[in-house]
Structure 1
Amino acid sequence: MRNVFLFAPLLALLLASCATQSARPVPPADAGSIDSARQMQLERERILRGQTDWSLAGRVAISNGRKGGSGRIDWQQQGDTYTVSLSAPVTRQSWRLSGGSRGARLDGIEGGPREGADAARLLREATGWEIPVEALGDWVRGVSAQGLPQATMQFDSQGHLSHMEQGGWAIDYRWPETTSAAPVLPQRVDAVKGEAKVKLIVDEWAPISP
């Protein structure tokens, strides 16, 4: 099954348009501010790792060579349990990936639901897409993934994480302009590993009440 989520050209154009409007690069940090940025990042990660229940709503484009798809994404995370729902308004297709430490389940595909111990492998076998689900749950919030080799990071002049490399993936970030005292969450995330690409534009972040 390689056509779970058909490519939506109109939505892809919308994604490109939104990216152009919101992706205003900030100059890199100078040598004197790198240590401060690293300390800021360590504090962000400490706080965010304690906030295990969260959700996001936005738009995503996924490709792996010539195969690709795009649509709306809703991600609900509670501890190590997640539900990721994708829908394409143009084709009216949708699927849902849910799982946690005990494995994963993929609904909405031909032939009925599929289950497996590894979410990334399950997606790869069902769709042909390379998506590091568990790590992406950290990366989308601008946090290095646990269980992988140490990440290398670069920062912009405002102290925000601008680029991270971990587990063979390269992740670029764009951040909203805000004066909030709470840890800032990314507005756009681009993750690339070879031909595999995941582009995410977040429209809304929200905590999940217990």
Structure 2
Amino acid sequence: MHSFRFVRIAPVFILCLLAACATTRAPVRQPGDALTLGLQEQREKALGDTDHWTLEGRLSVSNGKDSGSGSLTWRQDGARYEFTVRAPVTGRSFRLTGGPEGAELDGLDGGPRRGPDAESLMASTVGWQIPMVELKRWVLGLRAEGGAADIAFGADRLPSRIVQDGWTVDYKQWDAARQPPMPSRVFAEKAPYKVRLSIEDWTFGR
């Protein structure tokens, strides 16, 4: 394991911050029916092409052995992304950037590391499995493209859980002050890996 293991003493990587206008949700899950699935299809049409946004919050991650957390800024600019995590104690920043041409991770001892994509780069350097492609859709409350998904809804008719590609994604809170409502706490798990995001703010547009 590379020096990124510093997370044992200074949590680094996925989130848990409460959004000011978020609604806390009871663990009520209902299978999709014509109404809720129709509303979700409308949501996916409205947000499916939304690929210019910035997410601010906190991130925590675990691979079953090591775990940590830190503040997160995730900027999505079309196919390109910038995923920056800041450790709370050391103040060090880890920045994952890339696009269709590949990915680069800055902040590790020994200089930047490069790989063909964000997921394989994270797996090879840190030993964590973070489903970056799917997560880009899940954080918006959408099903990821290209794979079958089971979806359940809460009493508010918003997604409560999505099971897709071996991952279980639980929506713990939604920011109902926004239109459309946006997730504010998203927990994704595929044993032994866990990714938790707590979203403080969304900004849309270039």
Class of the TM-score when normalised by the shorter of the 2 chains: 0.7 to 0.9
Counterpart in 1 of 2:196? 199
The 1:7/1:114 distance shift into structure 2, 3 A limit, reads closer
Find the aligned partners of 1:177 and 1:64 in 2 and give their Cα distance.
28
Which structure dedicates a bigger proportion of its chain to helix? 1
Q: Is this contact kept in 2: 1:26–1:157, CA < 8 A?
A: no
Residue aligning to 2:153: 155
Contact 1:8 1:71 in 2 (8 A): no
**Contact kept in structure 1, 2:80 and 2:100, CA below 8 Å:** yes
Checking the alignment, whether the CA contact within 8 Å between 1:54 and 1:208 is kept in structure 2 is yes
Indicate the RMSD between aligned Cα atoms, in angstroms.
Answer: 2.5
Counterpart contact for 1:34–1:155, Cα < 8 Å: no
Secondary structure of the structure 2 residue equivalent to 1:176 = strand
- Between 1 and 2, higher relative CO (CA 8 Å, sep ≥ 6) is seen in 2
TM-score by length of 1: 0.86
The equivalent of 2:164 in structure 1 is: 166
Give the aligned partner of residue 43 of structure 1: 42
State the partner residue of 1:132. 131
- 1:116 paired to 2:111: no
TM-fit CA distance, 1:3: 3.4
Distance 1:85 1:74 in 2: 5
Identity of paired residues, percent? Answer: 36
**Is residue 189 from structure 1 mapped to residue 190 from structure 2 by the alignment?**
no
User: How high is the TM-score relative to the length of structure 2?
Assistant: 0.88
Q: Name stretches of at least 5 consecutive residues in structure 1 with no aligned partner.
A: none
1:114–1:16 distance in 2 versus 1, CA, 3 Å: closer
Per the alignment, residue 64 of structure 2 pairs with 65
Alpha carbons of 1:173 and 1:113: their partners in 2 closer, same or farther (altered >3 Å)? Answer: same
Q: Tell me whether 198-207 or 3-12 shows the greater mean CA deviation.
A: 3-12
Residue of structure 1 equivalent to 2:26: 25
Q: Which runs of 5+ in 2 are unaligned?
A: none
- How far apart in 2 are the matches of 1:139 and 1:7? 25
Q: CA deviation at 1:135?
A: 1.2
**Count of residue pairs brought into register by the alignment:** 202
Instruction: Give the superposition deviation at 1:23.
Output: 4.2
Higher strand share: 2
Within 1, Cα distance between the matches of 2:151 and 2:116?
Answer: 30
> What one-letter code is carried by the residue in structure 2 that aligns with 1:165?
V
